[in-house]
Amino acid sequence: MASRNRSSTSDYSASNYNQTAAFVYSAEYTASILSFLKPSVGERIADFGCGPGELTLRIQEAVGMSGFTIGIDYNNDMISRALANGVRHAYMSDLQNIQIPADMLENSFDAVFSNAVLHWCKQNPRGVLDGAKRLLKVGGRFVCEMGGFMNCIGVRIGLHRAVKRRGYEPDKMDPWYFPTIEEYQGLLESAGFSVNTISLVPRLTPLLDGGLRGWLQLFARRTFLKGFSDQEAAAIIDEVVDMCEVDMKDKEGNWALMYVRLRFLATLDSP
Ligand SMILES: C[S@@+](CC[C@H](N)C(=O)[O-])C[C@H]1O[C@@H](n2cnc3c(N)ncnc32)[C@H](O)[C@@H]1O
């Protein structure tokens, strides 16, 4: 196994994200979570893990010029793209330990929003909630959709098996945190939030551009498989694609993946 740090077309760049994963921020898939958020004119809303900013822009439009929206993401390329796309405020920081200019931001937000991000925060999920608490007013909303229990079932099993077969410990490489309702509700409550609603929502998701191979290149190559050489990673990806074909590819050659989303609206009770 070799560690590497060089760019390639499989990097998690804004362009690759837009090309392979536009379904993540599509109107169809985000209607429910945006209806939980209900952004209104004049509100201050932070978008945790804004990516290239497609959803941040929609929130920015809803809060209008009298409101304030900020996107936060730890990927510099995503932040640059979000600003270029018209997001007025975007900030680079790890959500697990948010560093923000305190005088500008603390305890002044009506809502923190996040779509398809918090399952990447396996190292310190509680740190994300502490960051949200620092931004929110008492009574502020925390509205989120993320990968939940059994998300991407099949692919994750395939990656674990392929890596284990090569003598490595998959649990250490696995970047994903897919909590159950009970686990995440407990975390929210212990951090001082009241949970208004929380559910697990299975969603069959067609993989349009690049099928499962494209998905693995985007979401696993520089995360789960980051310690492997290009050659080793390609062999693992081939193996996983082969393993999953029986369940995830239809007779016309179209791929789909079973996403399971954890969706919640919580309210901050106390600072
Ligand atoms: C699947 S994209 C979702 C982007 C956007 N929310 C959307 O719906 O299109 C996940 C984003 O979360 C960001 N991200 C993942 N872990 C993060 C962390 N610990 N801190 C900050 N950003 C993170 C990634 O850089 C990426 O832009």
pLDDT digits (tens, 9 = 90+) for 242-271: 999 999 999 999 999 999 999 999 999 987
How far is 223 from 173, CA to CA, in rounded Å? Answer: 8
pLDDT of residue 9: 36
Q: Which residues pair with 45 in a beta bridge?
A: 69, 111
How far is 140 from 27, CA to CA, in rounded Å? Answer: 25
Q: How many CB atoms are closer than 10 A to CB 175?
A: 16
Residue 90 CB less than 6 A away from ligand 1: no
Spacing, Cα 122 to ligand 1 middle (Å):
13
pLDDT of residue 11: 67
pLDDT of residue 102: 67
Q: Which residues pair with 68 in a beta bridge?
A: 44
- Which token pair is 220? 């696993």
How far is 220 from 175, CA to CA, in rounded Å? Answer: 9
Tell me, which fold does domain 14-268 have in CATH? Rossmann fold (3.40.50)
The stretches of 50-146 forming alpha helices (DSSP H) are 54-63, 76-85, 102-105, 125-135
How far is 262 from 254, CA to CA, in rounded Å? Answer: 26
Residue to mutate, 18, 57, 74, ligand 1, most ligand atoms under 8 Å from C-beta: 74
pLDDT of residue 41: 98
Chain centroid, CA 134 distance in Å: 20
How far is 82 from 14, CA to CA, in rounded Å? Answer: 9
Residue 60 pLDDT grade (very low, low, confident, very high; cuts 50, 70, 90): very high
The residues spanned by each domain of the chain are 14-268
CA atoms within 13 A on the CB side of 77: 9
Residue 51 pLDDT grade (very low, low, confident, very high; cuts 50, 70, 90): very high
Is the confidence at residue 5, as pLDDT, over 70? no
The amino acid at 71: G
Residue 60 CB less than 6 A away from ligand 1: no
Neighbouring residues of 2: CB distance < 8 A, sequence distance ≥ 6: 227, 228, 229, 232
Spacing, Cα 48 to ligand 1 middle (Å):
7
- Of 8 and 181, the structure prediction assigns the larger pLDDT to 181
